[in-house]
Amino acid sequence: MPDAPLSELLSPALLSRIADYGLLSRLAVDGYMSGLHRSTAKGYGSEFVQYRGYSSGDDPKYIDWKLYARRGKLYTKVFQEETTMRCALLIDASASMAYRGKDAVCSKYRYAAMVAACFAYLAQRQGDRLGLFVYADDMLYATARGQREGQLRRVTEQLSRVKPAGVAYHDAALVQVEEFLGRRGLLVWFSDFHGADDGLARQVRRLRAAHRDCLVCQVLDRDEIDLPFADTLRFVDSENGDEITTAPGEVCADYQERMQAFMAGIRQDCLNNNTDYLLTATDENLADVLGAYLHRREALL
């Protein structure tokens, strides 16, 4: 399996077959990072963690000249004590996140949990303070601010225990996350954001006003994006029980237009408030979301 192509190694079809989130995260992240040059060089008495692009003012003695010779671009070595920060993973586990489409390999929650496990493993490798927050109509799990030892194990265990249900109360969940993050931290927020379009701008604006960084990951199923049904069906809202019976073929064009507007609105709310946004479907390779996380974190250094 370690020799499998990256496109296969990071595919939801493969990863969703692995029940152990700890194993899943190691397999995915180590595979993703395997192409990067790594070193055990020391600096400031700390362990080497990663590279970042050279910026004016960086100490030239930490430039990796061998890497420059291969890539033609300057990179500096980053050491663990330089990178310590708080990383909070916030996951919507309301009933809508349990949806798994007719051709999907996993539910939206399962996909979000797989990505969150990978981010948790990356955070541990980089020496970050890690926190997990899972919510619906109440906080289902929250990391206490003082907890540190064994956090990766706690995170992976909790991810496997959650059963999505209830309604998503986003505002209440953010309060506890803000307490954990303190003055310097990164929030990674996973949700389908159904019902949140009226309040998301306010929520991310509050985070940015407190100088906290945020990566918003909107997780959707292909069925929600495309409405690929032919027969007349009864659709039931998993959170409030509302029902509607319709012929998808007759409403598909209007539905897709509204869905595109919904996704564009979430994205624009984030961009208007200097917040990174990533749309991902549950059939998409995890490479893009891992890259987005590393890019966001590098920008904070």
Q: Where are the domains of the chain?
A: 36-82, 84-300
Nearest to 180 by CA among 215, 117, 133, 137: 133
Tell me: the pLDDT tens digits for 241-295?
Answer: 677 777 777 788 898 999 999 999 999 999 999 899 999 999 999 988 888 888 7
31 confidence band (pLDDT: 50, 70, 90): confident
Residue 91 tokens, joined? 């996951």
**Most confident region among 205-209, 210-214, 231-235, 282-286 by mean pLDDT:** 282-286
Decide: 80 and 127 in contact? Cβ < 8 Å: yes
Average of per-residue pLDDT across 194-208: 85
The CATH architecture assigned to 84-300 reads 3-Layer(aba) Sandwich (3.40)
> Cα dihedral angle (36, 130, 53, 284), rounded to 10 degrees?
60
Decide: 49 and 126 in contact? Cβ < 8 Å: yes
Q: Distances from the Cα of 278 to the Cαs of 289, 293, 295, in angstroms? A: 8, 10, 12
Tell me: the pLDDT tens digits for 74-92?
Answer: 877 765 444 467 899 999 9
Strands 86-92 and 185-191: parallel
